Amino acid sequence: MLGPEGLFAAIYDDGVPVACAGAIPWKYGSQPLAQAGETGWEIKSVTVDPRQAKKGLVSRCIGIVHEYLIAKDSELRKENERTGDGKLRLWIQATEIVNGDYWRRRGYKDVRRIEMPIGYWSAKIPFTMVVLMKELDLDETTESN
């Protein structure tokens, strides 16, 4: 799923993975809910061992992913003498009822909502999918995750 451009961060406890987060490019055509003109990275595979929940481990994994993406984008901007708008866009596809509020509390904003049919992601009932996005300002010296 991560492909050649994706990345993955994991935290281990005594050799056992207990939390993780990944990212892949958010590209129109490769993501079912991406639209033309949208750029950035999709945060993927975010999970934590239930016995390790509420310890901030997922936030640490996501922070590592953010730091890597900021450094990578900054390097590409220098190499290509690219200025862009100085923003790094991070995207999330989430089921509204399960974790829409979780991502909003972390600074992600609603972009669109789509009613998904039975069978999508093996769902037994229809559900609302939300696409959320957070912009990180690459020109600021400090980042707010």
- State the pTM of this model: 0.83
Q: What are the boundaries of each domain within the chain?
A: 7-137
The architecture (CATH level 2) of 7-137 comes to 3-Layer(aba) Sandwich (3.40)
Higher pLDDT, residue 31 or 8: 8
Instruction: Convert 49-109 into a string of H (helix), E (strand) and C (coil).
Output: CHHHCCCCHHHHHHHHHHHHHHHHHHHHHHHCCCCCCCEEEEEEEEEHHHHHHHHHHCCCE
* pLDDT tens sequence across 106-137: 999 999 999 999 998 899 999 999 999 999 88
Give residues with Cβ within 8 angstroms of 97, minimum separation 6: 127, 128
Higher pLDDT, residue 83 or 27: 27
Q: What distance in Å separates the CA atoms of residue 100 and residue 110, rounded to the nearest whole number? A: 9
* pLDDT tens sequence across 15-43: 999 999 999 999 876 777 889 989 899 99
